[in-house]
């Protein structure tokens, strides 16, 4: 049976999935030990930005191996509606500058409760996060992206080109 979905419909579903979800799960492995960690993310451009402790296992292992897997999926109680992204790529440390400023602004817009952590501060910057939360800004850069959607067909999976998806 041929799935009844076209690239435009896939594109819309993936954009909605990324925009309407808040957490992604990062998976790493080191010394034959796998690890997965959920993080809050914001997406702009072709990357996913998140804050984490530089001492976190997923950060250390991600940098050590140079490889990270990532999933974003829609919550649903039915396997027939299971839908999500499966990605592989790497993480980068985001130093200060314009990229960090844009990521922080997008993060605060997506997660307005962050402002309550920084009372009295109008312009939250990277140093605020580092000082108060002992967290750094990181970026997950996908190298391969697969969209899966059981509502199309059980096991439906399609590779997505990030250049066309996140433009």
Domains delineated in the chain: 7-162 (2.30.110.10)
Residue in the block written with tokens 């690890």 = 35
Between 44 and 145, residue with greater pLDDT = 145
Please check the confidence at residue 165 and state whether its pLDDT lies above 70.
no
**In this prediction, what percent of the chain has a pLDDT beyond 90?**
55
- Please write the tens of the pLDDT for every residue from 66-85: 999 999 998 877 888 899 99
* Global confidence as pTM: 0.91
Quote the pLDDT of residue 159: 94
What are the backbone dihedrals phi and psi of residue 132, each rounded to the nearest 5 degrees, phi first? -80, -40
DSSP 65-94: HS-EEEEEE---S-GGG-EEEEEEEEEEE-
What ranges in the chain are assigned the alpha helix state H? 7-20, 57-65, 98-110, 126-133, 162-165
């Amino acid at each position: 049976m041929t799935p009844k979905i076209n690239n435009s419909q896939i594109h819309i579903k993936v954009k909605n999935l990324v925009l309407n979800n808040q957490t992604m799960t990062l998976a790493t492995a080191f010394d034959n030990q796998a690890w997965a960690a959920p993080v809050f993310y914001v997406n702009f451009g072709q990357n996913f930005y998140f804050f984490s402790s530089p001492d976190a296992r997923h950060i250390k292992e991600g940098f050590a191996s140079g490889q990270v897997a990532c999933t974003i999926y829609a919550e649903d109680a039915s396997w027939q509606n299971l839908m999500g992204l499966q990605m592989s790529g790497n993480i980068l440390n985001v130093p200060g500058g314009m990229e960090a400023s844009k990521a922080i602004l997008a993060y605060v817009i997506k997660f307005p409760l962050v402002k309550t952590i920084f009372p009295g501060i109008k312009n939250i910057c990277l140093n605020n996060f580092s000082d108060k939360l002992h967290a750094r800004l990181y970026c997950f850069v996908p190298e391969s992206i697969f969209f899966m959607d059981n509502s199309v067909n059980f096991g439906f999976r399609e590779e997505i080109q990030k250049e066309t998806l996140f433009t």
